Amino acid sequence: MFFTTSFPDYALPDQINRPVVVMGLSMVVDGWEFPRHSHRKAQLLFSASGVVTVETDSGVWVVPPQCAVWIPGGLPHKARSTGEVRGFGLFVEPDIMDGLPDICCSVSVSPLLQSLLEKAAGFDEYYDEDGAEGRLIRVLLDELVAAPLEQLHLPIPADNRLRKLTDMLLDDPASHATLEVWAHRIGMSERSLSRLFSHETGMSVGRWRRQLHVITGVQLLTQGRSIQSVAFDLGYESAGAFVTMFRKAVGTPPGRFLAERRASWNLFRGAVLQ
């Protein structure tokens, strides 16, 4: 079995004298939290099952099944889980090759990249960098550079008033309060709020709220909740209205979005158990 029984010591990857380290992850307890920390090495945190949420000072990234989040080296972050999480942590020395992201981002993981992670997780701690294992690591990095990005990021503004607004929205994603009401609550004019929020996050408040609904919806659906139940919890009048919003934001309806990832995980798990 390639998964570890607990989340690895976050200092360990930096102590291993190899430029790339892959570790299997398995958290069978729902709702674990890993406190704020950082690594010298950059990290790819991949979830084969369950949902991981990663938070930095500048944003929140969701990692549903078959996705990953890339965390640059030295960036403080914390993580928490929803459901039984199984996956991998890939740790890479900074500047090891061109093309790797220099910012936090969500990444879609192909079956090939997933298989390479699974194989590399079984390597000895001090694998042969010049032999077959080193060649596989180089292919793994090539696949990582080519991996498409996922739109599962929620930017967090730096301005304290806007941070207060996003905190309130995170606490009550179903709220139907108008922009005028939110502006009054944080002591800003509606116009100033709109301009500054767009400047700091790259999104309008409306688009940010829709992205919040996508992220929250993915987390709830992964727990087995129905689309109708999730839609009502997020303040939609019908399941259809939520599905329409999700399709416009992500490019596919929520049921298909998760089904494709579950299918990939089931195929992968079957191959591992054979």
Nearest by Cα to 79 from 57, 52, 106:
52
* pLDDT classification of 274: cutoffs 50, 70, 90: very low
d(CA 86, CA 4): 9
d(CA 121, CA 127): 11
Summary mean pLDDT of the chain = 86
- In this predicted model, what pLDDT tens digit does every residue of 121-177 receive, in sequence order? 999 989 999 999 999 999 999 999 999 887 778 899 999 999 999 989 988 999 999
* pLDDT classification of 266: cutoffs 50, 70, 90: low
* pLDDT at 30 (0 to 100): 61
Count the neighbouring beta carbons within 10 Å of the beta carbon of residue 59: 17
pTM recorded for the entire structure? 0.76
Range of weakest confidence among 42-51, 78-87, 120-129, 212-221: 78-87
Give the pair of three-digit tokens for residue 270: 């079957």
**Domains along the chain?**
11-150 (2.60.120.280), 154-260 (1.10.10.60)
d(CA 192, CA 214): 26
* pLDDT classification of 263: cutoffs 50, 70, 90: low
d(CA 173, CA 149): 25
d(CA 157, CA 34): 23
Q: Give the DSSP letter string of 96-120.
A: SSTT--SS-EEEE--HHHHHHHHHH
Strands 42-56 and 77-92: antiparallel
Q: Give the DSSP letter string of 193-221.
A: HHHHHHHHHSS-HHHHHHHHHHHHHHHHH
Cβ within 8 Å of residue 4, ≥6 positions away: 23, 24, 25, 26
